[in-house]
Amino acid sequence: MNSSLSNKQILLGISGGIAAYKTAELCRLLIKAGATVRVAMTQAASEFITPLTMQALSGNRVHMDLLDTDAEAAMGHIELARWADVIIVAPASADFLAKICQGQAGDILSTVILASSAPLVLAPAMNQAMWADASTQDNLQLLKQRGYHIAGPASGAQACGDTGLGRMLEPVEILEQCQDLFDTGYLAGLNIVINGGPTREAIDPVRFISNHSSGKMAYALAAEAAKAGAHVTLISGPVCLNTPERVARVDVISAQDMLDACLQYTEHCDVFIGVAAVA
């Protein structure tokens, strides 16, 4: 799919509100558009939709606890803040909007937002009277002044029986607003496989035949293709290079390993670039 969200890393936040059931569909649409999605939920959100549901849809562990000993050993909330290209909070309850205005960081979602420089999209969802309240409107004006993107709300029938402004936008409408934040890369949606580096052919358990290929060309091509929106698989011989961001790396040793990996990963690719120096 040719989308500006192709290869983007999206943190999908969920606060407590009945509209949280729509977030499952939003997650599906974001992934269909080519994005990688991680989910962070408040405790209140888990009363409306289960973490297991969001984990199954996103394919990634759901972040719920700020003081998670496993994640915080590596400063999990900071890692998430740096990882995200955009943060979407849907639904954003009146309570959550107020917390963001005040710079509170009492849960994983608000803490990540405070630590991140990524664009923030807020999709408000609340009762029409709460939406119209002066405090909520003051908070919205402050959020807009800070450069945050407000998606909605829509008007219509609400779960409480009222009718008016306060309904969360439909997932496809939120998706469209998020797509407008990014330019569509000229390789968006393409699956590209690149091989690079040397191979090693064993003479015996100690010695091997190889060459001086550094792999730098393949790694540079992979980095640029990923930046242009492609989904990149890099099949690499033994080199001393870091894997480019947003690139899936497959390590091989021998020429046979390289051939097997290339046959496997090129079966469904759009473009193959061969720059490996096979020994």
101 is catalytic: no
Check if the beta carbon of residue 55 is closer than 8 Å to that of residue 15: no
- CA separation (Å) from 35 to 31, 103, 136? 5, 28, 31
**Over 90: is that where the pLDDT of 57 sits?**
yes
* 191-274: CATH architecture: 3-Layer(aba) Sandwich (3.40)
pLDDT in tens, 73-102: 455 678 888 898 899 999 999 999 999 998
Tokens of 16: 């407590």
Intrachain domains 9-179 and 191-274 with the same fold: yes
Element (H, E) at 40: strand 36-41
* pLDDT range class, residue 246, cuts 50, 70, 90: confident
Tell me the whole-structure pTM to 2 decimals.
0.72
What is the model's pLDDT at position 76? 65
* Burial per residue of 128-150, b for 16 or more beta-carbon CB atoms within 10 angstroms, e otherwise: bebbeeeebeebbeebeeeebbb
pLDDT tens by residue, 98-138? 999 988 888 889 999 999 888 999 999 998 889 999 999 99
Active-site annotation holder among 101, 160, 178, 262:
160
CATH (residue range 9-179):
3.40.50.1950
The pLDDT of residue 187: 86
Report which of residues 265 and 69 the model is more confident about.
265
Confidence label for 265 from pLDDT (cuts 50, 70 and 90): very high
Q: Where are the domains of the chain?
A: 9-179, 191-274
